[in-house]
Amino acid sequence: MVDVAHARFEVVKGVVDTTTQPIILSHSNIMETSSWARYISPAHARLVAGRGGVIGAMPYIAGRRSDDVPGYVHFVSRLVDAAGIDHVGIGTDMDGISGGAIFTSYSRWPSLAAALVDHGYRPDEAAKVLGGNAQRVFQQVAAGASSRR
């Protein structure tokens, strides 16, 4: 499994041009006004999606309260708008950022499922974001690795 988190656009393009397997970008959000390296452009998101991969919506939103689950769903939706519902998941790094992480415990997971549905996602779409897309990518990469043995 190749994770292109923190990689510049040009690096991701090189990975996409080289591999035949889906890739992941484990934690990021669509760029807004910040130049923070962990944010990506819509074109960057489309590169990952174009290889069949998944982008994890980073569970951190600068300037937001840590309990702002609807605000986090806004960032999930920006990724969905850029990459499509089949290419977005929940990001990692919730314990790697000091202060402001939306999820500091997986015990809050049910609130995210409810917030996605409240935002207008169908239950099957919410299931994709909550783990189905990541599972698909992991299974596809594992199957490809097994077939090469």
pLDDT tens-digit series, residues 98-134: 666 776 667 777 889 999 999 999 999 999 999 999 9
0.85 surpassed by pTM: yes
Q: Does domain 9-140 have CATH number 3.40.109.10?
A: no
d(CA 128, CA 84) in angstroms, rounded, equals 11
Strand extents, DSSP E, the chain:
24-30, 39-40, 54-57, 88-90
Asked if residues 8 and 43 have their Cβ atoms less than 8 Å apart, the reply is: no
Q: What is the pLDDT of residues 36-83, one digit of tens each?
A: 667 899 999 999 999 999 999 988 776 666 678 888 898 899 999 999
